[in-house]
Structure 1
């Protein structure tokens, strides 16, 4: 009997976790879809279920002045009428390296072979 209760609780926890993760991802995907509807040339991407939007292009000196850590890379390109997924970008090509600011984690930077762009996370809601 105790084992059945344990399994029931574990199954319930798993289902709740899946539901919560799915809704978080859906909210991020919906924000990306809305941004792209408003402006087809928006420079955005999603990494680790967080949506980032371009702030400005910066030079190498500005990039080097910020302490960063590797954060990931772009794995695919967004195509109109598709759903945004993690690793997908509207402008950045696949393979672009992304770095996260240590002091201000809401800021990330793309490195496109010496061309650097600053992005900021888009808050949900």
Structure 2
């Protein structure tokens, strides 16, 4: 009996943690969908369940003046009326490298072969 009760609590805990992760990602996906609905030319992407939106293009000198670390890359392109997924971008092409500011982690930079763009995370809510 105790073993069954133990397994029941383990399964419930696992289901609750999965549900929590899913709703967090869904909130990010919903924000991306709303932004794209308002302006289909928005330059956004999602990495590690965080939504980023374009701030401005920066030159190489500005990019090199910031202490950055590799953060990931764009793995797919957004298609109208589809759900945004992690690694997906509305404008940036597949394979674009992303770098995160070490001092200000809410800022990331894309490197499109020497063209750099600054993005800022979009807070939830």
Superposed CA offset, 1:32-64 (max 9, x none): 000001101000000010000000000111111
1:35 aligns with 2:31: no
Q: Secondary structure at the match of 1:55?
A: strand
Aligned to 1:61: 61
Structure 1 CA distance for aligned equivalents of residues 67 and 77 of structure 2: 28
Structure 2 CA distance for aligned equivalents of residues 48 and 116 of structure 1: 20
Gaps of 5+ in 1: none
Per the normalisation by structure 2, the TM-score is 0.97
Structure 1 CA distance for aligned equivalents of residues 22 and 52 of structure 2: 19
Query: How many angstroms does 1:5 deviate by?
Result: 2.6
Aligned to 2:76: 76
Aligned to 1:50: 50
Aligned to 1:20: 20
Query: How many angstroms does 1:7 deviate by?
Result: 1.6
Q: Secondary structure at the match of 2:16?
A: helix
Gaps of 5+ in 2: none
Per the normalisation by structure 1, the TM-score is 0.97
Structure 2 CA distance for aligned equivalents of residues 14 and 83 of structure 1: 25
Q: What is the Cα-based RMSD across aligned positions, in Å?
A: 0.8
Query: How many angstroms does 1:13 deviate by?
Result: 1.1
Structure 2 CA distance for aligned equivalents of residues 13 and 105 of structure 1: 31
Structure 2 CA distance for aligned equivalents of residues 67 and 31 of structure 1: 29
Structure 1 CA distance for aligned equivalents of residues 69 and 7 of structure 2: 40
How many residues matched? 125
